[in-house]
Structure 1
Amino acid sequence: MNAQTGSHSHASASKRLNRLAWLLDSAIRLPGGFRVGLDGIIGLVPGIGDLVGAAMSSYIVVEAARLKAPFRVLARMGLNVLIELVVGIVPIFGDIFDFAFKANLRNMRILNEYLNKNA
C-alpha cells in the first residue's frame, strides 16, 4: 500500500467513524438545542443498556487499532469508554452523564488528531 492509498483509507475510515460517533452521541436534537445520541438512549435500558452502549463505543476503539493508532491513543480512547460505562451504571446520574460526556465524539477527536498528525 502506498502512502496515498493509506491516507485515502484513513480518510474514508475516519469519515465512517465520525458518522458513527455522531449517531451514537449527537444525532437527535432536543428542544433548546441540546443533542443526544443512540448511546445515551440505549443506556436508559436498565442493566444491559450501558453494556450495549459500551460495546458500540468499543467498535471505534477497535477500528482505531486497525488504523495502527499507538497504544497511548488507544488507551485514552478506552479510558473514555470505561468512564462512560462505569459512571453510566449509576441510576439517573449516570444517564445524565452519558448524554453529556459523549465518549464517542471525544474518541474521534483523539483519533482524528493522531491521523492528521501522521497523514
Structure 2
Amino acid sequence: MDSDPASVRQRIEAMEKLLERMFVIPGINKPVGLDVLLDLIPGVGTVSAAALGSYIAWEARNLGMSKWHLVRMGGNIGFDMLLGAIPFVGAVPDFFFRSNTRNLRIIKRHLDKHHPHTKVVEAGARPL
C-alpha cells in the first residue's frame, strides 16, 4: 500500500464513498452507504461501521495530522457510534450525521494545505 498523500487521498475518498454514498435512495435522492446499512444489524453492525470509519482516521494519523484533528475525527466516529447503538432507530440519525464525510473534509483541508499536488478537480464541479 502506497503511503504518498495522493494514494492516501484516493483510498480515503473511496472508503468514504463506500460508507456514506454507495447508492441513492429513489424518490428522496439521498445517498446511503454501508454505514447506515450496518446500523440495522444490532450491536455488531454499529461496531463494524465504527471500525471501518476508524480506518479513515488511521490514514490521517499516517499523514502526520495534528492530534487536535485526530481527536475531532475520533469524536465524530464516537458520536456516530453512539447514535447507531440505538437498535434499528439508530440508523435514522446516522442517515443525517455523516461522520465519515466530516472526517474526509478534515483530511482534505489538511491535504490541500500541506500537499496541494494531491488536489483533484472533480467532474461536474463548478468554478468559484
Do both share a fold (TM > 0.5)?
Answer: yes
Q: Deviations over 1:8-65 (max 9, x none)?
A: x112211111111011011111012111001110111012110010000001101110
The reply to whether residue 13 of structure 1 matches residue 22 of structure 2 is: no
User: Which ranges of structure 2 fall in alignment gaps of 5 or more residues?
Assistant: 116-128
Q: Deviations over 1:75-103 (max 9, x none)?
A: 11111000000111123442101122111
- Give the superposed CA RMSD: 1.3
* Structure 2 counterpart SS, 1:69: coil
More helix by share: 1
TM-score for both structures, normalised by structure 2 = 0.82
TM-score for both structures, normalised by structure 1 = 0.88
The reply to whether residue 77 of structure 1 matches residue 73 of structure 2 is: yes
User: Which ranges of structure 1 fall in alignment gaps of 5 or more residues?
Assistant: 1-5
* Structure 2 counterpart SS, 1:29: strand
Which deviates more, 86-95 or 33-42?
Answer: 86-95
Give the aligned length.
Answer: 112
Which aligned runs of 4 or more in structure 1 are off by greater than 3 angstroms? none
Distance 2:87 2:33 in 1: 18
**Aligned residues: percent identity?**
36
